[in-house]
């Protein structure tokens, strides 16, 4: 049932239907990584994490937070610490060194226009958030963003909320989507959710496991799930040296030492004395409320056997997955190619037919796939073919669909086309925001 819910997730369907982006590969790679660490295949776990991190600049941060879960959940501190440090360093190098080197300017990032409400540059945004934290609430809390979160968690019946720690690695991607001024990032489809999907699914699986265990506890039963027996299986451990203290124990000892040192100071003692009654009231109230809730649920759970409860849980997941798909189907269907081309496509095809089959072409990203049967082709704004041995050759035709150019590239694209049309190229035809240029020494200009 959970597999079926995964396969019809609108977020996953959008990743597969829309244009290919390398980050789409991160979805299966992160799932493989979780599977590998669960079965203690550490080599393949590292391989999957490295490949996933190579798909986009912020993915190493997600891998770093996954390393934190490796330390916490899988009790492998060295591997988790290696992932955490390596992932953070990888992202810092990509964002602070590589991107500014190839993208000059104050923003140092091609897509910062999406976050200009936070500041004119990444550094300005950090300062603005530190001194004006309410900007996150006043600017970005909206119905569309809340509905986006609803769509993400509804596909698995909101079970992911029962294991929130497994959503920790997805927080960077959630932040990028929710803080963006571009509504495409929080529509619930497209490639922007590729790294969120694996952790929502894992959190849903663990959440369902916890729900089943809790129901059994309310019935006064004790169950052992397959994952429990695996986690308790004997693992060959290396012999420990005399006096060896595990990393987790060292952290606890350090915390206790710091606490004992601070607790002897008068200021801390007075503060704790003032705060302790309030903490005690809250703790006692919460414990008593949970006790009463457990008693009520116990009387409700006893008439319903665990097997029937599991069937109800499956029905709940199926119903919510289908409901989520029904709500998101119109948006997903917009990504589907229509079977019968319209008048716009027909006019564009007429422009494409004007280009000889053997002529070198520079085409925009949306038209490039329609011209790849020729030997030499490049992607606009590049207008030279460097694959010819011994020399670079200027293309004979340039064709660009201005309606599909991303907002951050619109000005530079129009400027580049104007420069070409005033130089070696002339405008042959234009239809439906598609412009066709030809080299003056090859074509007959109008």
- Half-sphere exposure of residue 374: CA atoms within 13 angstroms, side-chain side: 22
pLDDT at 433: 86
pLDDT at 369: 82
pLDDT at 247: 53
CA distance linking residue 204 with residue 159, whole number of Å? 5
What are the CA-CA distances from residue 416 to residues 383, 400, 411, 422, 437 (Å)?
10, 11, 9, 10, 12
Residue with tokens 């309606």: 403
Residue with tokens 């409860």: 309
pLDDT at 25: 96
pLDDT at 205: 95
Nearest to residue 58, comparing CAs of 145, 185, 189? 185
pLDDT at 254: 63
pLDDT at 232: 44
Q: What are phi and psi of 338, to 5 degrees?
A: -75, 145
The strand order across the sheet containing 377-379 reads 377-379, 361-363, 397-401, 434-439, 425-431
Scanning 108-195, the segments in alpha helix (DSSP H) are: 122-131, 135-140, 143-154, 171-178
Query: DSSP for 356-393?
Result: -TTS-EEE-TTTGGGGTTSS-EEETT--EE--STTS-E
pLDDT at 236: 45
pLDDT at 264: 62
DSSP label of 442: T
CA distance linking residue 218 with residue 220, whole number of Å? 5
pLDDT in tens, the chain (446 residues): 999 999 999 999 999 988 788 999 999 999 999 999 999 999 999 999 999 999 999 999 999 999 999 999 998 999 999 999 999 999 999 888 887 776 655 555 667 778 888 887 777 888 888 888 888 887 778 899 999 999 999 999 999 999 999 999 999 999 999 988 888 899 998 899 999 999 999 999 999 999 999 888 888 887 766 655 444 444 444 455 555 555 555 555 565 666 566 556 666 555 656 655 655 555 556 667 767 777 777 788 888 888 899 999 999 999 999 999 999 998 888 877 765 667 888 888 888 988 998 899 999 888 888 888 888 888 888 888 765 555 668 889 999 998 888 777 788 889 999 999 888 899 998 888 899 999 998 888 88
pLDDT at 55: 95
Assess contact for 87 and 61: CB atoms under 8 A.
yes
pLDDT at 197: 97
- What's the pTM? 0.73
Assess contact for 387 and 92: CB atoms under 8 A.
no
Token pair, residue 303, equals 């008439």
pLDDT at 386: 62
Residues with Cβ within 8 Å of 206's Cβ and at least 6 positions away in sequence, in order, are 162, 163, 166
pLDDT at 28: 97
């Amino acid at each position: 049932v959970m597999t079926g819910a995964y396969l019809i997730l609108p977020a996953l369907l959008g990743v597969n239907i829309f244009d290919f982006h390398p980050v789409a590969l991160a979805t299966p790679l992160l799932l493989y990584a979780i599977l590998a660490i669960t079965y203690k295949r550490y080599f393949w776990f590292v391989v999957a994490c490295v490949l996933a991190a190579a798909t986009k600049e912020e993915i190493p941060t997600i891998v770093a937070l996954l390393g934190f879960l490796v330390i916490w959940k899988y009790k492998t501190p060295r591997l988790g610490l290696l992932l955490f440090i390596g992932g953070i360093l990888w992202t810092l190098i990509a964002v602070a060194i590589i991107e500014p080197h190839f993208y000059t300017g104050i923003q140092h990032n091609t897509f910062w226009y999406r976050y200009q409400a936070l500041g004119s540059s990444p550094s300005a945004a950090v300062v603005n958030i530190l001194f004006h934290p309410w900007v996150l609430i006043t600017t970005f809390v909206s119905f569309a963003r809340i509905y986006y979160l609803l769509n993400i968690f509804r596909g698995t019946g909101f079970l992911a909320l029962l294991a929130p720690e497994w959503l920790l690695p997805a927080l960077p991607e959630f932040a990028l989507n929710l803080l963006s001024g571009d509504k495409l990032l929080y529509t619930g489809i497209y490639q922007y959710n590729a790294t969120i999907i694996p952790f929502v699914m894992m959190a849903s699986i663990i959440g369902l496991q916890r729900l089943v265990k809790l129901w059994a506890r309310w019935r006064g039963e004790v169950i052992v799930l397959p994952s429990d027996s695996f986690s308790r299986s004997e693992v060959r451990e290396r012999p420990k040296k005399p006096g060896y203290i595990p990393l987790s124990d060292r952290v606890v000892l350090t915390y206790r030492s710091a606490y004992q040192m601070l607790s002897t100071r008068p200021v801390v003692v007075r503060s704790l004395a003032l705060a302790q009654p309030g903490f005690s009231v809250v703790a006692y109230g919460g414990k008593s409320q949970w006790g009463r809730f457990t008693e009520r649920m116990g009387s409700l759970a006893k008439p319903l056997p665990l097997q029937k409860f599991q069937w109800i849980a499956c029905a709940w997941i199926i119903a919510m997955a289908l409901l989520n798909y029904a709500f998101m189907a119109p948006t997903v269907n917009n990504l589907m190619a229509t079977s019968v081309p319209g008048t716009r496509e027909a006019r564009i095809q007429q422009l494409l037919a004007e280009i000889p089959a053997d002529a070198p072409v520079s085409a925009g990203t949306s038209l490039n796939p329609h011209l790849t049967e020729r030997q030499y082709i490049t992607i606009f704004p590049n207008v030279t073919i460097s694959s010819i041995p011994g020399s670079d050759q200027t293309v004979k035709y340039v064709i660009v669909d201005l309606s599909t150019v991303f907002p951050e590239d619109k000005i530079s694209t129009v400027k580049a086309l104007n420069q070409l049309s005033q130089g070696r190229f002339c405008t042959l035809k234009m239809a439906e925001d598609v412009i066709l240029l030809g080299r003056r020494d090859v074509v007959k200009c109008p």
